[in-house]
Amino acid sequence: MRGDIATRLGAVSLVSNISFAGVKLLVGFIGNSFALVADGIESLADILSSVIVLSGLRVSRKQADHEHPYGHGKAEAIATLLAGIGLIVSAAIIAYHAIHEIRTPQGVPALFTVPVLVAIIIGKRWLYHTLSKHAHHEDSMALQAEAWHHLSDSLTSLGVLGGLVIAIFAGPGYEMADDLAALGVTLLILYNAVRLIRPALDELMDRRIEDHRIEAIEKIASEIEGIERLETVTVRRSGRGYVAEIHMEVQPSLTVEKSHHLSHLLKDRLLKDDDLKLTHAVMHVEPFARK
C-alpha cells in the first residue's frame, strides 16, 4: 500500500510537470517573456526527472529475488542521483538562456504573464508540500527528490515573477530584469541538487548510518539471555529500508545449535520492530572473551 501511494504521487507529479511546462512555454512565447520560456525549458528537464523517479519507485517495489537477494530498494537512490543531475542540467539551461537574453533584450513582457505565473507558483508549492509530506511518511528518498524539484521550480518561477513585475512596471531600461532574476535563482537550484546527490551517493556507497537504530539494536540484544554483548553493529540504508550486520558474542561453551537459536531469536525481534525498519539482518556468532 505504501508503495502504491508513492507511485501514484509520482504519476501525479509527472502529469503536472508536463502541464506546467506546456503553459510556461506557450505563455512565455506569446507574452514575450524569455525568462518564462527558459523556466519552461527547465520544466522539460523536470519531466525527464519525473519519469526517472516514477521508474525508480516502481522498480524499488519489486521483491527480492535470486539475482537481488537484498531487494531492489537502491533503485530509489539511483533515481534520486539522476534527479539531482537533472537539476544541475536545468540550472545550466536556465543560466545559458538568461545570459543570452541579457545580451539581446527582447522588449517588455506582456502583463497577462504575471497572473499565469502566480497560479503556477501556487500549484508548484502545493505539490512540494504534498509530496514532501508523503515522502517523510513513506521514508522515500526518490519522492523527496521529486518534491525538491517542485520547490526549486517554484523558486525559479518566483524569481522570474519578480523580474517580470520589474520589467513590466519599472519602464524602459528594465527589460532584462526577469532574465537577471532567472539567472540568480540557478544558485538555489544547484543547492537543492547537492542536497539530493549527497544522500543518494551515501546509500549507493553503503555508508554506515549512526542513528537511534544502533542503540535500539543493542538494547534488544541485551534483553535476550545468552547473548553476552554485540561486538559490532553496522547499519546501512537500502531504499526505504535498512540492512544490519551484527557480530554477537556468546559463551564459548554454548553448542552450535544454541548459538544458532540465539542469533535467529535476535534477528526475528529486530525484523519485527517497526521503528527500526530493517529488511535484512545478517548475524555472525563469535565466542565471548572478557577484556
- Per the rule left: phi > 0, alpha: psi between -120 and 50, beta: everything else, 226 is left
Whole-number pLDDT of residue 122: 93
Confidence band for 241, pLDDT divided at 50, 70 and 90: confident
CATH number of the CATH domain containing 265? 3.30.70.1350
Same domain, 87 and 60: yes
Whole-number pLDDT of residue 1: 43
Same domain, 173 and 241: no
Which residue range is the domain that position 251 belongs to? Answer: 212-287
Strand partners, 260: none
Say whether pLDDT at 23 is over 60.
yes
Say whether pLDDT at 195 is over 50.
yes
Could you say which of 146, 173, 204 is where a domain stops? 204
**Dist CA 97 CA 183 (whole Å):** 9
H/E segment holding residue 241: strand 241-250
SS3 1: coil
Q: Which residues of 176-185 are buried (b: 16+ CB within 10 A; e: fewer)?
A: bbbbbbbbeb
Same domain, 107 and 195: yes
Whole-number pLDDT of residue 2: 47
DSSP per-residue letters across 67-136: S-TT-STHHHHHHHHHHHHHHHHHHHHHHHHHHHHHHS---PPPTTHHHHHHHHHHHHHHHHHHHHHHHH
**Dist CA 47 CA 41 (whole Å):** 10
Percent share of the chain, pLDDT over 70: 93
Confidence band for 105, pLDDT divided at 50, 70 and 90: low
Same domain, 231 and 171: no
If one counts the domains in the chain, the total is 2
Same domain, 194 and 242: no
H-type helices in the chain, by residue range? 2-30, 34-60, 74-103, 113-138, 141-169, 177-204, 212-222, 256-272
For 138-146, what is the mean pLDDT?
75
Whole-number pLDDT of residue 171: 67
Could you say which of 204, 221, 253 is where a domain stops? 204
For 173-201, what is the mean pLDDT?
77
Same domain, 37 and 105: yes
Instruction: Give the pTM.
Output: 0.66
Could you say which of 139, 169, 204 is where a domain stops? 204
- Average confidence score pLDDT of the chain: 82
Same domain, 45 and 117: yes
Same domain, 175 and 37: yes
**Dist CA 256 CA 37 (whole Å):** 69
Whole-number pLDDT of residue 4: 66
Same domain, 22 and 153: yes
H/E segment holding residue 205: none
Between the ranges 90-94, 153-157, 283-287, where is the mean pLDDT highest? 283-287
Same domain, 187 and 253: no
Same domain, 174 and 246: no
Tens digits of per-residue pLDDT, 38-70? 777 777 767 777 777 777 777 777 777 778 777
Tens digits of per-residue pLDDT, 148-172? 778 877 887 887 788 778 878 876 7
Same domain, 40 and 122: yes
CATH number of the CATH domain containing 105? 1.20.1510.10
